Structure 1
Amino acid sequence: MLHHEPVASINYMQRTLRANRNMKYIMLPYIENQHWILLVLSLYKRTVYVFDSLRRSDRSLAIKEPLHTAYTSFLLLEGIKATKLSWVSMKCAQQTGGDECGYFVMKYMFQIVRFLYQANDLKKVCICCKLVTYMILKFIN
Structure 2
Amino acid sequence: MHVSIDSAVDELAHLPFPIPHECATVGDAVGAHVAWPAQFVVIQDEKPQKKKIVDHRNKIGLSSSVPRSLHLLYCYCKRALTDEQNLSLAFDHDLFDESSELFLHLEDIIPFYSLDPISANCIVVYMWHLNKKMKEDNMTDMFRFVNPHTIPYMPYVSKLYRNAKIEHLNERASVLAERLSVASTNQLVLVPHNVGYHWILTVIDPYKEMVYLLDSLSHRNRYNDWKYVVDMSVRLFNSNKERKGKKQAIWEVVKGPRQPDLKQCGFYVMRFMREMIEKNATGEKNSISSIFMKNEYSKEEIDEVRSEWAECIQDYIYE
Mark yes or no: TM-score above 0.5: yes
Q: For 1:78 and 1:95, how far apart are their aligned partners in 2?
A: 38
**1:93-108, aligned counterparts within 5 Å?**
93-108=257-272
Deviations 1:29-61 (A, max 9, x none): 011121101111112331111111001547234
Contact persistence 1:26–1:42 (CA under 8 A): yes
CA shift, 1:23, in A, is 5.1
- Length-normalised TM-score, structure 1: 0.75
Query: How many Å apart are 1:7 and its aligned residue?
Result: 3.5
Structure 2: segments with no counterpart, 5+ residues: 1-151, 155-164, 286-319
Distance 1:44 1:73, change over 3 A: closer
Question: Which of 73, 86, 99 lines up with 2:236 in the alignment?
Answer: 73
C-alpha separation in 2, matches of 1:58 and 1:26: 19
Hey, what's the Cα distance between the residues in 1 that align with 2:228 and 2:184? 20
Query: Is 1:116 the equivalent of 2:280?
Result: yes
Q: What do residues 88-112 of structure 1 show as CA deviations (whole Å, max 9, x unaligned)?
A: 1101110111100001000110000
Looking at structure 2, the residues matched to 39 and 77 of structure 1 have their Cα atoms a distance apart, in angstroms, of 21
Q: Find out whether 1:30 has 2:193 as its counterpart.
A: yes
Q: Percent identity?
A: 21
Say whether the 8 Å CA contact 2:170–2:232 is kept in structure 1. no
Worse-matched range after superposition: 86-95 or 15-24? 15-24
Larger CA deviation: 104-113 vs 38-47: 38-47
Which of the two has higher C-alpha Rg?
2
Q: Larger relative contact order (C-alpha < 8 A, sep ≥ 6)?
A: 1
| Pairs aligned (count) | 121
Runs (5+) with no aligned partner, structure 1: 122-141
Name the aligned partner's letter for residue 69 of structure 1: M
CA–CA distance in structure 2, aligned partners of residues 56 and 42 of structure 1 = 20
Please state how far the C-alpha of 1:120 moved relative to its aligned partner.
8.3
C-alpha deviation, 1:65, in angstroms: 1.0
Q: 1:87 to 1:75 in 2, by over 3 A?
A: same
CA RMSD of aligned residues (A): 2.2
